[in-house]
Chains A and B, each alone.
Chain A
């Protein structure tokens, strides 16, 4: 009896938290399919439409180019950041170099600097380089933000891999790079995949730098969202449709992480 009471309480709490967290998102999804006149109504009884998605992709909103910008910036960031971070993480994890701990702390400490503090220097720098409102600028900034985080994350995964298999491979005749390619990367693959997705999500959602550094050509989705606040008022149904465009890929990736985030890849290496 006592146990079932605890069970009910636990469930109730979980449901309550889920509702609090999920309600705004659910509401956004609903609004995305509403006509403008239904947008402010609380009734669930409305006639759904796909018109909003058509509207946001046409003039003057042009969400298409923003999707493009977001995809390119996030993808290129991941493609550069993850391999570099993986090598750095391996080195931090395995090589006992003097000053290693300090260096690692230094890299992590970049994460503690509030973005607003460095956004102006970045702005001035990119103006000097004539890179304002370009994807390259956004990629560079995102790399700076994301790489330390990914290094830290992948290092955690590599630390958890026992060195025995690596040593065996070196005896068997593998060079250090070969060991990384043949032994470490396959064993760390679930971790690296997870880190890549995190990296993608971070970049995809990045707002402040994109807002300051882009104006027209390089605008990303989160920044694009702001443009639905017009002098004619907030266009909730369009903003929601764009919001759906932003969240759906993230949802899919989150599902993917859950499915593939399997530990135990290293089982069986040692006694």
Chain B
């Protein structure tokens, strides 16, 4: 159990700024998800916490103790590496067993713990293979098993489920959630997957170009993205972001007229989530255009409408059918949230 505190940490590779003066407190027992586009510094942040990367400036505190100069082995961390980092000359069993061996766990207990953990990640039958004889997903599960085989103070997981098929990913997600509930170990978790972030996180830190742009609960980040970047990044399909301007209390763009509580200005972006739009009849809808694409996802149909440069996507009923290029109308649901951003700065306006 441990609180992790990052104080003004910065990482430069030569003159390239990978992480710029970020502060972040990860509470004891919290499940913190780092979310952000490729190359934004998620792995770098993790590696600094783990002690694999020197910190250019700033402090890292674990349980209130400054551990900048402590070697990784003394930080009591378990980590799933983005690229696995398995021991190729050892069998799966030896791979999973190694951390226990290093911490002096007795042989008998090691054996049962390895077996239990392997079963959890559905690797029980592959214990005597070597990593080179495994598929990518199986390797990733070995990496995961090696991390969860013991109970450290902190878990660091860098996209631990990225290479699994959809079904296994859901199973493993539940497994991790259960594990976290059971052990209450402070966890930092990197993912690209919205669902993973939403379902697992106590809090989500959205990163961009080495900076944390928003740190909040998944609910809050979804409902109230701090800026244009977060708005576009969170949610799947992502939020509709419509370029337009406000005049006389009405937001206008090609085919769009929506009243908003904002004084006159141009260069405004209006955001609305696809799941908060209804497909409506009649020409007097707030959003009008021609049907551009229909995508059946199973439980719903994604309807994309276009009008000039405006493109809006709505999540409609799975049974919805219409001809491409036929007129199409969308109405925000009751209580739908409109997000307003400044085009140039990306800042939230309301």
Binding site for B on A (CB under 8 A): 164-165, 167-175, 178, 182-183, 186-187, 264-271
B85 in the interface, Cβ–Cβ < 8 Å? yes
Per-position binary interface string of chain B over residues 66-103, scored 1 when its CB falls under 8 Å from any chain A CB and 0 otherwise: 00000111000111010111111100000000110011
Q: Could you jot down 21 A-B contacts, CB within 8 Å? A: A164-B85, A167-B72, A167-B81, A168-B86, A168-B87, A168-B143, A169-B98, A170-B51, A170-B52, A170-B71, A172-B146, A173-B99, A174-B102, A182-B87, A186-B89, A267-B132, A268-B134, A268-B139, A269-B85, A270-B84, A270-B85
User: B72, A269: Cβ atoms under 8 Å?
Assistant: no
The A-contacting residues of B in range 22-75, CB under 8 angstroms, are 50-52, 71-73
Alpha-carbon gap, A178 to B98, bound state (A): 12
Which of B86, B103, B136 makes the CB contact (< 8 A) with A173? Answer: B103
Contact of A266 among B88, B103, B143, B146 (CB under 8 A): B88
Given A265-B89, A267-B132, A268-B132, residue A172 in contact with residue B102 (CB < 8 A): yes
Do residues B77 and A164 form an inter-chain contact, with CB atoms below 8 A?
no
Whether B73 lies near A168 (C-beta < 8 A) is no
Nearest CB on B from A175, distance (A): 6
Report the nearest A residue to B52, measured CB to CB. A167
How many Å lie between the Cα of A267 and that of B102 in the bound state? Answer: 24
Chain B interface residues (CB < 8 Å from chain A): 50-52, 71-73, 77-79, 81, 83-89, 98-99, 102-103, 130-134, 136, 139, 143, 146, 163
Give complex CA distance A258, B78 in Å.
Answer: 40
Question: In the assembled complex, how far is the CB of residue B299 from the closest CB belonging to chain A, in whole angstroms?
Answer: 32
Contacts of B133 in A (CB 8 A): 268
- B87 lies within 8 A of A165 (CB): yes
Q: Judge whether A172 and B98 touch: CB under 8 Å.
A: yes
B84 in contact with A175 (CB, 8 Å): no
Question: By the criterion CB–CB under 8 Å, are B98 and A268 in contact?
Answer: no
A1, B337: Cα distance in complex, Å: 77
A269 and B73: CB pair below 8 A?
no
Specify which of A164, A175, A268, A271 is in contact with B163 (CB 8 Å cutoff).
A271
Beta-carbon contact of A170 and B88 below 8 Å: no
Task: Give the complex CA separation of A64 and B350 in angstroms.
Answer: 95
B337 to chain A, nearest CB (A): 40
Q: Lowest 10 A-B CB distances belong to which pairs? A: A268-B132, A268-B131, A168-B85, A164-B85, A173-B102, A172-B99, A270-B83, A267-B132, A170-B72, A269-B88
**Which residues of A lie under 8 Å from residue B88 when comparing CB positions?**
165, 187, 265-269
Find chain B residues with CB under 8 A from A164 CB.
Answer: 81, 83-85
List chain B residues, Cβ under 8 A from A172.
73, 78, 98-99, 102, 146
Tell me the complex Cα distance, A168–B99, Å.
10
Using known A-B contacts A174-B102, A175-B73, determine if residue A169 contacts B87 with beta carbons closer than 8 Å: yes
**CA A171 to CA B81, docked complex, whole Å:** 10
A115 to B84 alpha-carbon distance, docked (Å): 48
The complex places the Cα of A265 from the Cα of B51 at a distance, in Å, of 27
In the complex, what distance in Å separates the CA atom of A168 from the CA atom of B130? 17
The residue on B at minimum CB distance from A266 is B88
Contacts of A174 in B (CB 8 A): 73, 102
Contact of A269 among B71, B79, B102, B131 (CB under 8 A): B131
Residue numbers in A under 8 Å from B99 (CB-CB): 172-173
In Å, the complex CA distance between A50 and B78 comes to 66
The contact of A171 among B72, B84, B136, B163, by CB within 8 Å, is B72
Does A183 lie within 8 Å of B87, measured CB to CB?
yes
Q: Tell me, in angstroms, the Cα distance from A178 to B103 when the chains sit together.
A: 12
Q: In the complex the two chains form, what is the Cα distance from A105 to B84 in whole Å? A: 34
Name the A residues within 8 Å of B103 (CB-CB).
Answer: 173
**How far is it, in angstroms, between the C-alpha of A171 and the C-alpha of B85 when the chains are bound?**
11
Cβ contacts under 8 Å, B83 to chain A: 164, 270-271
A268: B residues at CB distance < 8 A: 86, 88, 130-134, 139
B78 and A171: CB pair below 8 A?
yes
